[in-house]
Amino acid sequence: MTTITNTDRLERLLNVKQIAVFLAVALALAASCRAWFVMRDFTLDDALIYYRYIANCLAGRGLVYNEGERINALTSPLYTYISILVAFLFGNILQTQIAIGSFFLFLTSAMSVALLKDRVTPFILIFPPLMIATCPFYFITFGMETTLFTFLILLCIWLYTAGKYDWLPTSLGFLLLTRGEGVFLIPAFIALHLRHKRPVPSWKCFVPPAMVLFACFSFNMVYYHGLLPHTLGAKILHGKSGIFGDWSFMREVIRSLLGTLGHDFLVYIILGICLVAGLYDCRRNAALSLL
């Protein structure tokens, strides 16, 4: 009679987990490739701003929307630089933008696997990356920095939960260069870091992000004569003008949700259950607390 030891059980569990990780990443890759294929001719109106800046830059007319007018309408410096490099290497701006969106959609999905593989059962692990890679919201943002932003958010959270503090400041620096809203993740990290009494990273790991941010803002000051995009100031003034009325932001959020998730009530029931379960689990899960 064969005796199954604890070591055998552990090895079997590890094999099952490895298979689940491979399957989850493979499904996310397949879904992301499908997203690229379906959206390959898609053009988002806001993305056309990026396209024009990239085209002018590659044509030698400068990083401008209109030749001779140095107006900064680039929300995401990092996404702009990545897009210019990829378009320079492969030529077609439209196709490379859709490819970048689907590539970072895949990385976002894969990063969810890295975050959850030691926190959920192998069977459950298959679903989160597939849910991300098939979410319609991401498809309609191809050409924008959304998937890069979500990837960097999950990367920063994974670095924190994995204790890789030396790399965290640099990743946070890239997050800030992707979208300024990334700054709100920093106090969450600080609060959780103090709560768990974790060691303070060496000052040396803050040098690279400081240099990157300094270089970017210096370029903005010299080239555009302003630290932040001019369009940010325009949005603030629009908000202060009252032209959109009260609670316009919340109305836009609701409209976007209904537009991307549809009107199927079952979808919102499932999302609500996931939300309640996630909030309940936040008490003992640092990654979920940060999210």
Q: How confident is the model at residue 226 (pLDDT cuts 50, 70, 90)?
A: confident
Q: What pLDDT is stored for residue 289 in this prediction?
A: 75
* Burial group, residue 115, by CB count within 10 angstroms (0-12, 13-18, 19+): buried
Q: How confident is the model at residue 207 (pLDDT cuts 50, 70, 90)?
A: very high
Residues sharing a CB contact under 8 Å with residue 78, sequence separation 6 or more, in sequence order: 145, 148, 174, 177, 178
**Whole-angstrom distance, CA of residue 9 vs CA of residue 15:** 10
63: helix, coil or strand?
A: coil
In this predicted model, what pLDDT tens digit does every residue of 31-70 receive, in sequence order? 999 999 999 888 888 899 999 999 999 999 999 999 989 9
pTM of the predicted protein model: 0.84
Residue closest to 148 by CA, chosen among 48, 55, 87, 81: 81
Q: What pLDDT is stored for residue 11 in this prediction?
A: 55
In this predicted model, what pLDDT tens digit does every residue of 59-100 receive, in sequence order? 999 999 999 899 999 989 999 999 999 999 998 899 999 999
In this predicted model, what pLDDT tens digit does every residue of 255-276 receive, in sequence order? 777 777 777 888 888 888 888 8
Contact 115, 154 (CB under 8 A): yes
144: helix, coil or strand?
A: strand
Higher-scoring residue by pLDDT: 6, 23: 23
Following DSSP, what letter does each residue of 217-265 receive, concatenated? HHHIIIIISSSS-HHHHHHHHHHHHTTT-TTHHHHHHHHHHHHHH-S-H
* Burial group, residue 285, by CB count within 10 angstroms (0-12, 13-18, 19+): middle
In this predicted model, what pLDDT tens digit does every residue of 130-169 receive, in sequence order? 999 998 889 889 999 999 999 999 999 999 988 888 899 9
Q: How confident is the model at residue 14 (pLDDT cuts 50, 70, 90)?
A: low
Would you kindly state where each structural domain of the chain is located, as residue ranges? 13-243
Residue 13 has pLDDT above 60, yes or no: no
Residue matched to tokens 């689907």? 102
Residue matched to tokens 């290497």? 89
For range 222-235, the mean pLDDT:
84
| Angle at alpha carbon of residue 225, lines to 221 and 227, rounded to 5° | 50
Contact 63, 81 (CB under 8 A): no
Bridge partners (DSSP) listed for residue 66: 69
142: helix, coil or strand?
A: strand
Q: How confident is the model at residue 10 (pLDDT cuts 50, 70, 90)?
A: low
Residues sharing a CB contact under 8 Å with residue 95, sequence separation 6 or more, in sequence order: 40
**Whole-angstrom distance, CA of residue 83 vs CA of residue 143:** 9
**Whole-angstrom distance, CA of residue 157 vs CA of residue 8:** 33
Q: What pLDDT is stored for residue 136 in this prediction?
A: 85
In this predicted model, what pLDDT tens digit does every residue of 108-118 receive, in sequence order? 999 999 998 88
Length of the chain: 291
